[in-house]
């Protein structure tokens, strides 16, 4: 009996120790400082620096694909909208084209930090900021627009898959998607599903251009035509009615 009593006491003491912990609910607030280091090239329309010119210009944020990553920004100097702007007189957009470092992917917060800097430094029409990119840049376009939908009047991703966790944020944003139906790098179905999702949410300004019989390299056709730039100019961000659009 004495031994049994001692064992019971030991078990009770052990249970008491196991249940002695506490669950404490607290909150934490802190500031994280991040250094952003991006090279970029900037196209300014003819007459931008003309004395007395106070015009604010629409801006296209253009994101290149993975093959141009590195530290030589001159390699993208004539790519996409930059090349079109230089060969077409009267192109009215400012074009901002950052360079993604080697081994990196586009980070939405870094792109927005760069955009903030450009908007503070140059005469940008706040209601007319657009974003487009192809392949890896298409992924960056999707991700940045979904995370910061309030910043863009219209969005144009080319031939890139999308992880649609935040795609609902674009339910009011004009979106034009481009993809080749024979793309063997990024499945065509990725764009189909994204477009279907946005249409199902009631987005009335979703377009889908399918390049029949074409593979992954469709961007020279898209950026070499005035069609996309004319479409962009149809839309302005109304900051007075809704912050979400």
Q: Tokens 């920004």 belong to which residue? A: 73
pLDDT > 70 in the chain, percent? 89
> Which three-class secondary structure string do you get for the chain?
CHHHHHHHHHHHHHHHHHCCCCCCCCCCCCCCCCCCCCEEEEECCCCCCCCCCCCCEEEEEEECCHHHCCCCHHHHCCCCHHHHHHHCCCCCCEEEEEECCCCCCCCHHHHHHHHHHHHHHCCEEEEEEEEEEECHHHHHHHHHHHHCHHHCCEEEEECCCCCHHHHHHHCCCCEEEEEECCCCCCCHHHHHHHHHHHHHCCCCCEEEEEECCCCCCCHHHHHCCCHHHHHHCCCCCCCCCCCCC
pLDDT at 4: 43
pLDDT at 20: 64
**Based on the structure, what is the number of domains in the chain?**
1
In a domain, 227, yes or no: yes
pLDDT digits (tens, 9 = 90+) for 26-59: 989 888 888 999 999 999 999 999 999 999 999 9
The pLDDT-based confidence of 75 (bands split at 50, 70, 90) is: very high
Rounded to a whole number, what is the distance in angstroms from the first to the last CA of the chain? 78
In a domain, 241, yes or no: no
In a domain, 131, yes or no: yes
pLDDT at 188: 95
pLDDT at 81: 98
CA nearest to 175, candidates 2, 67, 160, 71:
160
Q: What is the CA radius of gyration of the chain?
A: 25
Q: How much is the pTM?
A: 0.86
CA nearest to 134, candidates 78, 188, 177:
177
**pLDDT exceeds cutoff 60 at 6:** no
pLDDT at 240: 64
Mean pLDDT across 146-167: 92
Mean pLDDT across 92-117: 97
Indicate which CATH number applies to the domain containing 174: 3.40.50.1820
Per the prediction, the chain carries an average pLDDT of 90
- The domain in which residue 169 lies consists of 34-232
**pLDDT exceeds cutoff 70 at 11:** no
In a domain, 166, yes or no: yes
In a domain, 198, yes or no: yes
pLDDT at 161: 83
In a domain, 21, yes or no: no
In a domain, 61, yes or no: yes
In a domain, 50, yes or no: yes
């Amino acid at each position: 009996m004495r031994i049994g009593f001692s064992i019971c006491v030991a078990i009770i003491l052990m249970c008491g120790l196991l249940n002695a912990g506490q669950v404490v609910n607290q909150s934490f607030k802190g500031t994280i400082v991040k250094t952003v280091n991006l090279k970029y090239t900037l196209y300014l329309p003819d007459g931008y620096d003309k004395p007395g010119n106070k015009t604010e210009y629409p801006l296209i944020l253009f994101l290149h694909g993975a093959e141009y990553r590195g530290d030589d920004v001159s390699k993208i100097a004539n790519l996409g909208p930059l090349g079109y702007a230089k060969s077409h007189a009267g192109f009215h957009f400012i074009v901002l084209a950052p360079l993604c470092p080697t081994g990196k992917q586009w980070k939405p917060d870094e792109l927005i930090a760069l955009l903030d800097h450009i908007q503070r430094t140059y005469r940008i029409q706040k209601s007319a900021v657009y974003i487009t990119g192809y392949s890896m840049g298409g992924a960056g376009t999707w991700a940045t627009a979904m995370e910061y939908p309030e910043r863009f009047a219209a969005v144009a991703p080319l031939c890139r898959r999308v992880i649609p966790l935040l795609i609902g944020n674009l339910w009011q944003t004009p979106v034009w998607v481009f993809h080749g139906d024979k793309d063997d790098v990024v499945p065509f179905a990725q764009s189909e599903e994204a477009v279907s999702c946005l249409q199902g949410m009631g987005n009335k300004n979703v377009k889908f251009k399918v390049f029949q019989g074409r593979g992954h390299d469709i961007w020279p056709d898209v950026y070499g035509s005035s069609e996309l730039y004319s479409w962009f100019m149809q839309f302005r961000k109304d900051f007075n009615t809704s912050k979400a659009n």
